[in-house]
Structure 1
Amino acid sequence: MSDAVRLLRVLVVAGGEPWPLDHGGRLHLYHVLRHLCTCTDVTLAIPARFRHAHRLPDGVKRVEIRAESASRFVPDDAIGRPTWIEQRAARHFGLRPQIAAYLCESTADGAFDVVMLCGSVLGQYARCCRCPVVWNPQDELVLATLRERRAQPWTRWPALLRRAALYAVCERAIQQRVAASVYVSPIDAAWARRWSPGANIVSIPNGVDLDYFRPTDREPVPGRVVFVGALDFAPNVDAACWLAERVWPTLRARDARRTLHIVGRAPLPRVRALAQQPGVVVRADVPDVRPELAAAAVVAVPMRTGGGLKNKILEAAAMRRPVVASPVALGGLTARPGLDVLVADGAYEWAAQLERLLSDPHDAEVLAARGRAWVETAHDWARTGEQFRAILALAAGRPATAPPAHEPLPYEPPAAPPPAAVVETQETACP
């Protein structure tokens, strides 16, 4: 069968399976796979067992990369010695020989047209691939690391700067080996281009499931501010604590009936302790976040650290709830500040913007309606998936135009896992 007729054969390698959908990296991978399986021959390989194979989109083939495959593989003999930068990256991130072995062997015989490596850590395996590679780190690590300074004492800054420098040289080395790199935010992509001039670096924004996160008939609770996020993830912990400690006392003093709901899985003790403050409620491990969003008079996203694109903004806007976000949280999104969402930076401005919406429900509803219209126009998963397919096709030397494809199948909304069943990693800067 000629290349013009045969479906594009894509090998997607990730650190784990894309389920449950309570983490930004898994959410992103699931929906990209959901589209790719409609128009390509896609295989997902992970260095673990598939515990939720039945949750994968129909048509996705599965490979479990086993540790024993590494015992018969000598990387240097097969693909040459790594550079000193690649050796340093392996010491920092950790190198799994079984992944290197699998990639070298599975891409040597022409079984795949292109490989997509998902996540910052997996970029180091580009040297093991014997066919074109697209790297999908999602977030830019140098930017995320430098932003950590806002939440760290100055004594930690030298260590952060050294780590940022390491990430920059590692990213540059990877960019030189891959056909393209994809970030979820144009800001992250612009940062990556600083140390990789000439590399093919693009941004493809996340979508949002507009059917799952849709407006409801439920009236918002007057005076309720809601923050949503994984509460064991450092940028979310910093944002929730800063909001509760620096902004909330001002709003609560103006109206004692107001409440701040901090919603998310696996809250750390520092977050749980916020419930001791007047009007603060910590809602841990809720089975479905949509009722919490529907009840919000305002959704607050006061991120100060992290990188990438904030799915929590897209989900709140899709449910037609008014959003106030920090410049860091809004970075990379196409929302019009002041029209689709409100932007606040600093405790005083945050208190003023939240007060504006809490005091004027009509103004809040107008903002919410514009936010819903924005995500309907700019953040559709089908468009995101098609952009990924085009990037993969071009990397493989195929035309970017797509063959006829059937509509993606509906998926079942995620169920809440036991708190101990999911561990957040730094693989993705912000869920």
Structure 2
Amino acid sequence: MGEILFLAHRIPFPPDRGDKIRAHHLLKHLAELGPVHVGCFAETDRDIAAESELSEVAASHSVTRRSKPLALAGAEAVLSGKPVSLTAFHSRALQLWVSRTMAERPIETIVIFSGQMGQYIPNEFAGRVIVDLCDVDSVKFEDYAAAGERVWLNRREGRLLAVEEERLTHRSDATILISENEKSLLQSRLRDAAGTRIHAIGNGIDAEFFNPDMVQANREISARPGPHFVFTGQMDYRPNEQAAAWAIEHFLPAIRAVEPQAEFHIVGRNPTPALLTHSDTPGLTIWGEVPDVRPFLAAADMALVPLSIARGVQNKVLEAMAMGLPVMLSPQAATGISARDGEHWLVEALDAEAMVKRFQTFRTEGRGEAIGPAARRFALEHHSWPAVLAPLTELVLPQAEKRNAA
């Protein structure tokens, strides 16, 4: 086959947050099929430092530093009638690199990771286009508006992103969503679904890395009586910030009322000022960015994932499950993973008292010894990256082409 152009809204190295983990494994899989040219954005010095790792996988690459202020992106969006999500990721430098690469290389397939990058697909390109939307982002912004957050702006963003999602779905030879739920959601929102080809390809987990037998538990946490609850993720991502704040304000007081030595640990980079104002809360530790999240998972008694807004498959849930850690999560956080309540995890509505009661029952019955191993087995059987990404080969390299290649 010819060569592949892969465009991602964040550099897929290091794979240290949900979207970058998925992009990282997509890229590695594509590189097994043919030469891949990668265009992406970097946001931090750590991203820039990872360019050398990208060069080991990509046949060529362009990493653009994204520094456009959100206010400027918003102004451009209003003037142009586009979603802020697109103007925030628009770069003339990247556009020129894409044009040059298309002119100089025999690109037969363009793979887009995240809807923001669909704007770089050349109108005249007649080859194969694969778009991984991951989630139906328009719904996320609609949910923000419904919750009373920046109502006009989020409602506008949701409306315009829905138009872009439909455009990309019709422009592509295959549109990928992260779960069957997201696939069905997108299909239900299309004004015209004729001719669209929509597929669900979930998130995977590196079960060799997230292996409880390969890591030592955090000693500081292990030395304290607990029980210990942990929440991981990018903490300046609004749904994570909201979930952490809910746990601090509702779950932590409720659990400490019956378990006075219970502790809640927030582990992840860029905790917001709003979260940091809670730093002195008894029983709370905000760790911020850590070099390795696994020792914190290994030291905890339970992962708590109380998301009120969630799209797709939650990597934080799969990571905890692969570590053999019991997970208690909201129904929103459980979407896209076909685990069974009471067997592989504990699903509870966002009700602090109900969650505390469920935890007490769980511990009294000694279920941790069963649910933890069952969770890891489930993660290995259903969410290993090779198994999850197997259908991608057929989308990028259809069967007829594979026969001709043979």
TM-score range, shorter chain: 0.7 to 0.9
Please tell me the residue identity of whatever aligns with 1:380: S
Q: 2:359: which partner in 1?
A: 354
Q: Distance in 1 between matches of 2:171 and 2:112?
A: 12
Residues 83 and 161 in structure 2, CA contact (< 8 A), matched pair in contact too: no
Q: 1:123: which partner in 2?
A: 118
Residues 109 and 129 in structure 2, CA contact (< 8 A), matched pair in contact too: yes
Q: How many residues align?
A: 376
What is the deviation of 1:129? 5.5
Please tell me the residue identity of whatever aligns with 2:282: P
What is the deviation of 1:178? 1.2
Q: 2:76: which partner in 1?
A: none
Aligned: 1:398 with 2:391 = no
Aligned: 1:205 with 2:202 = yes
Say which of 188, 194, 217 aligns to 1:194. 188
Residues 17 and 233 in structure 2, CA contact (< 8 A), matched pair in contact too: no
What is the deviation of 1:398? 2.5
Cα separation, partners in 2 of 1:111 and 1:8, compared to 1, 3 Å: closer
Q: Distance in 1 between matches of 2:261 and 2:299?
A: 15
* Mapping of residues 7-156 of structure 1, within 5 Å: 7-46=1-40, 51-56=49-54, 58-64=56-62, 88-89=81-82, 93-94=86-87, 95-107=90-102, 111-128=106-123, 130=125, 131-149=127-145, 152-153=147-148, 156=150
Q: Distance in 2 between matches of 1:299 and 1:213?
A: 14
Q: Distance in 2 between matches of 1:376 and 1:402?
A: 32
Q: Secondary structure at the match of 2:154?
A: helix
Say which of 237, 243, 247 aligns to 1:239. 243
Aligned: 1:177 with 2:175 = no
Moved more, 138-147 or 250-259: 138-147
Report the TM-score when normalising by structure 1. Answer: 0.79
Cα separation, partners in 2 of 1:222 and 1:129, compared to 1, 3 Å: farther
1:61-103 CA distance string (max 9 Å, x none): 1222789xxxxxxxxxxxxxxxxxxx63377621333444444
Q: 1:4: which partner in 2?
A: none
Q: Secondary structure at the match of 1:334?
A: coil
1:275-300 CA distance string (max 9 Å, x none): 32221111121211101000110100
Q: 1:427: which partner in 2?
A: none
- Greater length-normalized contact order (CA 8 Å, ≥ 6 residues apart): 1
Q: Distance in 2 between matches of 1:251 and 1:239?
A: 16
Identical aligned residues as a percent = 25
1:252-271 CA distance string (max 9 Å, x none): 01121111111111211221
* Mapping of residues 270-309 of structure 1, within 5 Å: 270-309=274-313
Say which of 327, 334, 340 aligns to 1:323. 327
Cα separation, partners in 2 of 1:89 and 1:387, compared to 1, 3 Å: farther
Q: Distance in 2 between matches of 1:365 and 1:249?
A: 26
1:91-140 CA distance string (max 9 Å, x none): 76213334444444533577011000111211223343612211112121
> Runs of 5+ in structure 1 lacking a partner?
1-6, 68-86, 404-431
The alignment's C-alpha RMSD in Å is 2.9
Residues 391 and 400 in structure 1, CA contact (< 8 A), matched pair in contact too: no
What is the deviation of 1:331? 0.7
1:47-67 CA distance string (max 9 Å, x none): 669632332384421222789
> Runs of 5+ in structure 2 lacking a partner?
66-79
Say which of 269, 272, 275 aligns to 1:268. 272
Q: Distance in 2 between matches of 1:296 and 1:91?
A: 39
What is the deviation of 1:342? 0.8
Q: Distance in 1 between matches of 2:404 and 2:330?
A: 38
Q: Distance in 2 between matches of 1:99 and 1:107?
A: 12
Moved more, 100-109 or 198-207: 100-109
Please tell me the residue identity of whatever aligns with 2:62: E
Moved more, 160-169 or 366-375: 160-169
Residues 136 and 181 in structure 1, CA contact (< 8 A), matched pair in contact too: yes
